Structure 1
Amino acid sequence: MVRLLAALVGVLLVAGCATLPDESQPAAVPQQELGQITNPDLQQPPHDLDPLTIVRDFVRASAQPIGNNAAARMYLDDVAVKQWQPSKVMNVIEDQFNTVYATGGDQPAGPNDVVVVVRGTALGTLDADSSFIPSRSTYELKLLVRKQPDGQWRIVNPPAGMVVPYSDFTANYVRVPIYFFAPDSTTIVPDLRYVAGKPQSGLPARVMSLLLAGPSDQLVGAVRSPLPEDAAIEGNVVNTPDGALVVPLAGVGDQTPEAKKLIAAQIVLSLQAVTTNRIRLLSDGVPLVGGHEDWLFTDVPSYTSLASPSADQAGLMTSGGRIRSLADGAPIPGPAGQGNYQVASAAQSIDGKQLAIVENLGGRQQLRIGPFGGQAQPVDLFGGTLTRPTWRPTTTADGTAGEVWTVVDGQSVVRVARTPDGGWTGQAVNAEEVLAVGSISALRLSRDGARAALVVNGQLLVASVVRTQDSVTLRSPRILGAGALSGVVDVDWLSQDSLVAATTMPSQPVVKVPIDGLRLDAFNSSNLTPPVYAITAAPGRPIVVADSGGLWTASDVGEVWRPHPHSVGSHVAPFYPG
């Protein structure tokens, strides 16, 4: 009777599982997939779908990583279900895409096989390190669809690199800033990554996995992590009954107290996008930071003070060869405001204490640097054109360090560094990768110093700033909004991870773009008179743009531009510190 009962139970279990999809071979679950459901309760596709619909639904289901891409496997034949091993690289395309039958020799002769072509516009790829790399291009994928013995069509050759529409990607993946530090200061630097949104309980573990793996490929060498290479998670990142999220670390116990505080800040700030719980940081079972076991986001001190203009820095503008205040339109004190220099452009250091000035001088331009309100000494740097200067953030609280960048004649990126005797000397920056795209007409260093935004041949680029003992290099430039954004004339940093740009495009004279270029938001163009030729922005400040009618301000994409109360003269160029 026992054996008979067991046999009956086995028959019932097999019958109950008959509609479940086949599973791939067992595999170790990486840290970022901890807590994911391996057998989600999915319904089979509706009966008698045509091959075009099968492929379209497969593409949309590919954005769901849960259960080893179980939703997408529903559209594969039995062999492909078991053999498909999609890579971590994912192609993101526009929502509007076509599925059409292949023609000519690409189409099999037999009645049970058809080739379906997916055609769309690629926006870029989600790389293996979970960062998005923009690369707008035409996308095409050919899939073989075969009629199964039960009469249903299924895909035979799923691609290793999945393709997903933008809306499905953003619905299933969460953008998370993973935080690292500037190489020579305690200023935090965000590294944008995308992690699977479901199951939600596993989000903190997936974020911690990325943090422990280090910065994305683009930021390698541009940032540092206080976490040692052998740091790891000892156990699981889980919520406790008392409402804390436990992060059990191993391999960090021998770090200095100061390094442990930086590690705590790095973890807490990186997790703030995925949890509201208290974060319990443990190292080998004891609090990571002595006397401070549980952390709230408000417990972390500011690590952006050296990269943020103070509230009393209202911003400046150049007008008629002089520098004036954006606060009241009055000339600033000293020779730069009195017209002693024919100011073509200028930049104020983040602490507000210094000015870098590009001066028109006898048919060419020269750089001057000096204290705000004082004499600006000439620097041995000349050219037919010099781009508006940009300041590297100071690395010490007293503001004595300093470095100014500019581009000479569109081809030579130069950083002008302070010398021990108080002078300034220019040194070349390796910008070969950027110059391969074209001539540089604008350059703005991020206020954390890890990146540079550039306008190159009317295109918007972001590159990392990699420093070694002997050189400084602009590395891994990426074009943002390629194909959708052109005629860019100026750019500035709205925040550490987003830019605003001015363009000659009548339909979108001002745009906002994240530093990974995944999307592009056009500002309201009401009241502007294109072309807009200058723009400035800073965290917590209104954006200021200049067009033929003067200066205009707005704080958000949907706002109507308002006249700036202190627009003075023609061809005014505003700038915030940085």
Structure 2
Amino acid sequence: MPDSGDIHAVKASPRADSQVRVYAVPPRKGATPVEIVDGFLEAMTSDDANFATARTYLTPETSQKWRPEASTTVLEAAPSSGQAVTGGRDNPGIDYPLFGKQVATVDNQQAYQPVTPTDYRRTIHLSQQNGPDGKEWRIDNLPPGLVLGVSDFQRSYVSVNKYYFASGRSVVVADPVYIRQRLDPVTRMDPVTQSVKSLLEGPTNWLKPVVESPFPTGTALKEGVKTLTFDDRNALKVPLNDKASNVGRPQCIKMAAQILFTVKDVTSTRVEQVEVQRKDGSQLCVLNGGQAEEFAPDRSSSPNNQYFVDSRGQLATLPGAAKDIDEPENVPGPFGNGQLQLSAVGVARDERTAAAVSKDASKLFVSSIISDGELGDAVVESKGKDPAHRLSAPSWDGQGDLWVADRDPAHPALLRLEDGVGAPQNVKIIPGLDGAHIDALKVSADGSRIALLLAKDGKTTLKIGRVERQGPKDEPVVSVAELRPAAPQMETVTAVSWAGPSKLVVVGKESGGVQQVRYMQTDGSSLPASILPGLTQVKAVTATGDEARPLVAYSEEDGIVRLPAGANWQTLVKKGSAPVYPG
């Protein structure tokens, strides 16, 4: 507890509670200007149809122009109104300044965009209007869209993934957006229907360059559809407009897969199948959950084992499905028999091959972990002056390509080895890193995104980049574009791992805070109740998209530990490091 420092009054909306409903109240007769401002700010947090009550605080002209669905400004706390300023002859009425600390914006594509916390200051202007009971104060100028505190935002909105296909490949990629938790005030659509509508409108601008959608241009839900419901067999029927009426079956199957992956993230109901319908109600195609799995990023394998570097510098494994803690076993081959001492490892997603960095971090080797053999030549070498400035831990994407960073300040590079055996290809980052260098990396299972830990001026930040492939399919030119912050509230990040299609587990700390292990979305938003307590001095962490698999971490204090669902941290191995799941 702090025992010194100044005391500051803080105005904040209450802790988010998804069960709380806010019912807006219209202005009373003869309401004062400050009552109008406070009433409107409160009414913005409600769910009433088309924000009808909030509009009663506005002049008719302003109400007609106001588009609350266009954007949402997210503040650390509910916006505060300042001291009223009376206008002069050229500006009759009253100005009320709005104050806050902005942390994010949600744009008209429902994409969350975090910002470094910055001072927010806008103005609400009121003027007197003629009403049935005489003059009354109303708002005639206001900030665009909605302005909400974080807790009100989390109470009203929920993050969902909509899915598109990676360009040129039959693998889906998650595109996170925020929709209303209940009926959308403007469209009056339920969450499932909102998600499908957003899917049909296309990917967000950030992801668009690396994905594609088989839905024909202009495809939308059948006019008048506000609710998509499940039948008694948990099948969802989705009627579309005429734009999709003549698609072929292979194309329709992909469309159905996109819908199925999207809606299964929204509803607690298990989605057994999706039926895509024409405008007249006739069937275009049907796809069940099992058939959709052929498009999943990890369809080739489901990681069963946890791997780590043991106290002798050798690669060891533990059965991931075991409820009890078993003795680890070294893998076959040069990584497990002592031919090479390791500092870090990356296991291919098929669990047949691994890439390992030598103990001094100068060389990267690739070898089988299912059969014995001799250690081959290094596939990558670094000339950095010490281990901290040599090779990072490697990572495998869902296509079987191997990624690693050379942290040598004189020759920094992000390298990709096709199928883990090709010549190292230098991957360009566009735009550049502005003086930062890559400290660690993790590639997503779909191969379309990469998480980078970037070090600069003694701090390490987490950013997500888009992996772009151009040119011939058999010899593409690969680059990483448009890095964006994924943990903007953290001053420094120690470790990161993918924990789902758009979810990360991050180890780091906020300015002036203590180390945290928490879940984050790839768009930079924080999941409610996402902080995992009870672990300190964490240096590495690993997870999978399968929630049944435990989170595994390396703590300097506790060794290799894991966190099974619904349980506490368990020590697996007291002496060991660099835990990884395949990937």
Residues 490 and 509 in structure 2, CA contact (< 8 A), matched pair in contact too = no
Which one-letter code corresponds to 1:312 in the other structure? N
TM-score by length of 1: 0.79
Alignment of 1:501 onto 2:483 = no
Relative to 1, partners in 2 of residues 1:284 and 1:377: Cα closer, same or farther, differing over 3 Å? Answer: farther
Provide Cα deviations, 1:80-108, integer angstroms capped at 9, x if missing partner: 22443457122111234422116xxx653
Relative to 1, partners in 2 of residues 1:432 and 1:120: Cα closer, same or farther, differing over 3 Å? Answer: same
Counterpart in 1 of 2:414? 413
Counterpart in 1 of 2:283? 287
Specify which of 363, 368, 382 is matched with residue 366 of structure 1: 363
Residues 406 and 414 in structure 2, CA contact (< 8 A), matched pair in contact too = yes
Alignment of 1:89-238 (within 5 A): 89-101=71-83, 108-109=87-88, 113-136=93-116, 137-148=118-129, 150=134, 152-196=136-180, 197-199=182-184, 201-237=189-225
Counterpart in 1 of 2:352? 353
Report which of the two structures shows the higher radius of gyration computed on alpha carbons.
1
Counterpart in 1 of 2:250? 258
CA distance in 2, matches of 1:514, 1:336: 34
**Cα drift, residue 265 of structure 1:** 1.3
Relative to 1, partners in 2 of residues 1:235 and 1:148: Cα closer, same or farther, differing over 3 Å? Answer: closer
Which one-letter code corresponds to 1:443 in the other structure? L
Relative to 1, partners in 2 of residues 1:305 and 1:515: Cα closer, same or farther, differing over 3 Å? Answer: closer
Which one-letter code corresponds to 1:219 in the other structure? L
Counterpart in 1 of 2:261? 269
Counterpart in 1 of 2:430? 432
Relative to 1, partners in 2 of residues 1:230 and 1:405: Cα closer, same or farther, differing over 3 Å? Answer: farther
**Cα drift, residue 499 of structure 1:** 0.6
Residues 303 and 581 in structure 2, CA contact (< 8 A), matched pair in contact too = no
Q: Unaligned regions of 5+ residues in structure 1, if any?
A: 1-40, 395-400
Residues 343 and 578 in structure 2, CA contact (< 8 A), matched pair in contact too = no
Identity %: 26
Q: Secondary structure at the match of 1:59?
A: helix
Q: Secondary structure at the match of 1:262?
A: helix
Q: Secondary structure at the match of 2:346?
A: strand
Relative to 1, partners in 2 of residues 1:165 and 1:204: Cα closer, same or farther, differing over 3 Å? Answer: same
Residues 497 and 506 in structure 2, CA contact (< 8 A), matched pair in contact too = yes
Relative to 1, partners in 2 of residues 1:96 and 1:168: Cα closer, same or farther, differing over 3 Å? Answer: closer
Q: Which of the pair is proportionally richer in helix?
A: 1
Alignment of 1:326 onto 2:318 = yes
Counterpart in 1 of 2:563? 554
Provide Cα deviations, 1:209-251, integer angstroms capped at 9, x if missing partner: 3222221111112222222335444434356897764423433
Specify which of 391, 397, 404 is matched with residue 396 of structure 2: 391
Provide Cα deviations, 1:296-344, integer angstroms capped at 9, x if missing partner: 6567445326357535333333544322223433332222123322312
CA distance in 1, matches of 2:439, 2:243: 47
Q: For structure 1, which segment, 537-546 or 308-317, has the greater mean C-alpha deviation from structure 2 after superposition?
A: 308-317
Q: For structure 1, which segment, 383-392 or 336-345, has the greater mean C-alpha deviation from structure 2 after superposition?
A: 336-345
Counterpart in 2 of 1:464? 466
Counterpart in 1 of 2:553? 545
Q: Secondary structure at the match of 2:335?
A: helix
CA distance in 2, matches of 1:91, 1:467: 34
Alignment of 1:71 onto 2:73 = no
Residues 318 and 344 in structure 1, CA contact (< 8 A), matched pair in contact too = no
Relative to 1, partners in 2 of residues 1:153 and 1:465: Cα closer, same or farther, differing over 3 Å? Answer: same
Residues 305 and 317 in structure 2, CA contact (< 8 A), matched pair in contact too = no
Counterpart in 2 of 1:15? none
Residues 335 and 367 in structure 2, CA contact (< 8 A), matched pair in contact too = no
Q: Secondary structure at the match of 2:119?
A: strand
CA distance in 2, matches of 1:460, 1:307: 28
Q: What number of residue pairs does the alignment pair up?
A: 513
**Cα drift, residue 60 of structure 1:** 3.7
Counterpart in 1 of 2:518? 511
**Cα drift, residue 376 of structure 1:** 4.5
CA distance in 2, matches of 1:213, 1:507: 42
Residues 309 and 343 in structure 2, CA contact (< 8 A), matched pair in contact too = no
> What is the Cα-based RMSD across aligned positions, in Å?
3.2
Relative to 1, partners in 2 of residues 1:233 and 1:310: Cα closer, same or farther, differing over 3 Å? Answer: closer
Alignment of 1:490 onto 2:495 = yes
Residues 177 and 192 in structure 1, CA contact (< 8 A), matched pair in contact too = yes
Alignment of 1:306 onto 2:298 = yes
Provide Cα deviations, 1:515-553, integer angstroms capped at 9, x if missing partner: 222225553432x3x321111111232111112221222
Residues 67 and 145 in structure 2, CA contact (< 8 A), matched pair in contact too = no
Counterpart in 2 of 1:31? none
Residues 507 and 525 in structure 1, CA contact (< 8 A), matched pair in contact too = no
Residues 314 and 576 in structure 1, CA contact (< 8 A), matched pair in contact too = yes
Q: Secondary structure at the match of 1:461?
A: strand
Residues 143 and 157 in structure 1, CA contact (< 8 A), matched pair in contact too = yes
Residues 146 and 153 in structure 1, CA contact (< 8 A), matched pair in contact too = yes
CA distance in 2, matches of 1:389, 1:311: 17
Counterpart in 2 of 1:19? none
CA distance in 1, matches of 2:531, 2:359: 33
**Cα drift, residue 445 of structure 1:** 0.4
Which one-letter code corresponds to 2:469 in the other structure? R
Relative to 1, partners in 2 of residues 1:408 and 1:254: Cα closer, same or farther, differing over 3 Å? Answer: farther
Relative to 1, partners in 2 of residues 1:81 and 1:251: Cα closer, same or farther, differing over 3 Å? Answer: closer
Residues 307 and 350 in structure 1, CA contact (< 8 A), matched pair in contact too = no
Residues 318 and 574 in structure 1, CA contact (< 8 A), matched pair in contact too = no
CA distance in 2, matches of 1:434, 1:69: 44
**Cα drift, residue 440 of structure 1:** 1.8
CA distance in 1, matches of 2:435, 2:569: 33
CA distance in 2, matches of 1:274, 1:548: 38
Relative to 1, partners in 2 of residues 1:73 and 1:182: Cα closer, same or farther, differing over 3 Å? Answer: same
Relative to 1, partners in 2 of residues 1:202 and 1:499: Cα closer, same or farther, differing over 3 Å? Answer: closer
Specify which of 440, 447, 465 is matched with residue 445 of structure 2: 447
Q: Unaligned regions of 5+ residues in structure 2, if any?
A: 1-22, 320-326, 385-389
Provide Cα deviations, 1:430-452, integer angstroms capped at 9, x if missing partner: 21336137222111001121211
Q: Secondary structure at the match of 2:332?
A: coil
CA distance in 2, matches of 1:117, 1:44: 22
Relative to 1, partners in 2 of residues 1:218 and 1:351: Cα closer, same or farther, differing over 3 Å? Answer: same
Relative to 1, partners in 2 of residues 1:343 and 1:246: Cα closer, same or farther, differing over 3 Å? Answer: closer
